[in-house]
Structure 1
Amino acid sequence: MNVLIADDEKDMLKILKVYFEKEGFQVFLAEDGEEALTIFYSNKINLAILDWMMPKTSGLQVCKEIKSNSDVKILMLTAKSENEDELEALNIGADDYVRKPFHPGILLTRAKKLLRKEKVAQVKDIKIDLEAKKIYKNNKDLNATKTEFELLNCLLDHKGNILTRKKLLDIVWGFDYFGEERTVDTHIRRLREKIGEGIIKTHRGLGYSLEEENG
C-alpha cells in the first residue's frame, strides 16, 4: 500500500514515515500542496494524509483535486478545532479527520481502517474473515493458525506489492524477532497447503505477493 503524507512540519513527516514503514507501507512525503499533487499524479497512491494548512496549495485544495480525479482515501490533519472546519473537510470529500496533536499510532490505526472498511475479504475461492481471524476455502474453515492468518492478512494489506522475508518477519513476527528468514518460507508452505497454490506468488530472490486476481 502506498501512502502520501503531506505536512510542512519536517519532524512530523519523519516520525510518521517511521510508523507507516514499520507496518509495511511505502511512504511518499511532501512538504507543500504542490509537491503532494506532483506525487499523486506520478504514483499509485492508496491513501493521502494531508495537513490542512500547507504552503503553495492548501490541504483542502489538494483534497478537492485528488477526489475529483480518483477514489483515493483522504485523511485530513489540522490544528483547527472548530466543528465547522471538520464539516467542511468532510463535505469536500475527506474520508476522515484528525486534530493535532495526535499520537502517531492512533493516526496509523485510523489510516488502516480507512484502507479496509470491509470485514470479509475474498481472494479466488478463499474467504478471509478479518474480525473472526479465520480463513475459509469454499466456506470450509481451514483452521489456520494465528501466524498463518497474520501472514495472509499482511499479504492482503499489501496486495500487488512484493514483500521481502525481512519485511514479513518485521510485520508478522515483530521487530524484536531474531529468528531465521527461512521461518517465513516454512509458514508460507504450510499456508499454501491449506489455501492452495494459486494465491501466494513467489518472486525468486525477492519475496512473496498476493495475486491480484479475485475469483
Structure 2
Amino acid sequence: MQKTILVVEDEDILREISKDYLLNEGYQVLEAADGKQALTLIHDHDVDLIILDIMLPELDGWSVCRRIRKTSNVPIIMLTARVDEDDTLLGFELGADDYVTKPYSPAVLLARAKRLIESRNREERQTITSDSSNSDTLSAKGLQIQIPSRTLTVDGESVYLTYTEFQILAYLMQNNGIVITREQLILKIWGYEYDGDDRTVNTHIRNLRSKLGEKSKLITTIVRTGYKFEGNA
C-alpha cells in the first residue's frame, strides 16, 4: 500500500524539492505551507509520516507537534536550524521522533523518512502475522508491552508512548539486566547516519521515565555509559 507523507514547510522551494524526492521514491505527498493547514490535512487524511518545519506561519512546528501528539503517534521528523540545539531538544520533549538540521541534503531527509516508514511497515506485518505468542509480549514489574501493536500498560493502565519512546523501552526490556550504551541506543533507534548527541538520548529517556511514573526506577542510569532495565530487581 502506498504510504503518505505530509511535508509542512513554508519555503516553497524547499517544500517542492522534498516533495520531488519523496514522489520519486513512490510515496504519496501532501503539502502544507503553515501550521493550521497542516492540522487540517492531518484531520482529513491518513498520514504515515510528517516532516515538520519549526518556523511556520499561523502555528509554529512546536504547537503543531503538541496538538498532533494529543491524538496520534504518527512518526514526526522536525526540521530545525543547526545552531538551535535547544529547538531540537524541545521538539523531542513534545514528541518528535527524529530531526534534520538545516541546511540539509534531501537525500538525508529521504533516508530518515524511509527508515521510519520501513520500521512501521515491519511492525504492521508483524501485527498481521502475529499469533499472540509470548515473544510478542514483554512484561516486568507491572509493565507490559505488546510489540506488534506498540502498546504499553502500566499496572493494567494504558500509557501513551511516541514511536521513539516505545522503541527505546522495548530495546531496554529485550536486554533486561544488560547495560546499553548511548551509542548502542543511537545505532539501534536512529541508525548509522544519525548525527545527534547524548543529550538527544537523555531527553527521550527523561520523557519515557516521566510517563512510567513510579516504574521509572526500573530504568537505571549507568554514569558516563548508558542505561539498564532492571526488571528482575
Short-chain TM bin: 0.5 to 0.7
- Specify the alignment match of 2:55 in structure 1: 53
List aligned pairs for 1:178-189, cutoff 5 A: none
Q: 1:62 aligns with which of 46, 61, 64?
A: 64
Within 5 Å, give how 1:26-105 maps onto structure 2.
26-105=28-107
1:64-84, Cα deviation, whole Å (9 max, x unpaired): 111111111100001252322
Of the structure 1 ranges 24-33 and 77-86, higher mean CA displacement relative to structure 2 is found in 77-86
**How many residues align structurally?**
125
Q: Amino acid of the residue matched to residue 63 of structure 1?
A: C
| Residues 1:9 and 2:11 aligned together | yes
The aligned runs of 1:136-215 (5 Å cut-off) are none
Deviation at 1:115, TM superposition (A): 1.9
- TM-score of the two chains, using structure 1 as the length reference: 0.55
Contact 2:79/2:101, CA 8 A, preserved across alignment: yes
1:124-147 CA-to-partner distances (Å, cap 9, x unmatched) read 49xxxxxxxxxxxxxxxxxxxxxx
Is the 2:80–2:87 Cα contact (8 Å) retained in structure 1?
no
| Structure 2 counterpart SS, 1:3 | strand
Q: Measure, in 1, the Cα distance between the counterparts of 2:80 and 2:40.
A: 22
What does residue 114 of structure 1 align with? Answer: 116
AA partner of residue 53 (structure 1):
M
Q: TM-score, normalised by structure 2?
A: 0.51
Cα 1:68/1:41, change in 2 over 3 Å: same
Percent of aligned pairs with the same amino acid:
41
Whole-Å separation in 1 of the counterparts to 2:101 and 2:118: 22
Unpaired stretches in structure 1, ≥5 consecutive residues: 126-215
Q: Which amino acid is the alignment partner of residue 23 of structure 2?
A: E
Work out the CA distance in 2 between the residues paired with 1:82 and 1:17.
25
Q: Distance in 2 between matches of 1:52 and 1:104?
A: 17
Q: CA deviation at 1:41?
A: 0.3
Give the 4+ runs in structure 1 shifted more than 3 A: 118-125
Equivalent position SS for 1:21 = helix
Q: Does the C-alpha gap of structure 1 residues 41 and 66 become closer, same or farther in structure 2, counting only changes over 3 Å?
A: same
Unaligned runs of 5+ in 2: 131-233
Larger Rg: 1
Distance 2:15 2:86 in 1: 26
Per-residue deviation, 1:5: 0.3
Task: Give, in whole Å, the separation in 1 of the partners of 2:27 and 2:95.
Answer: 23
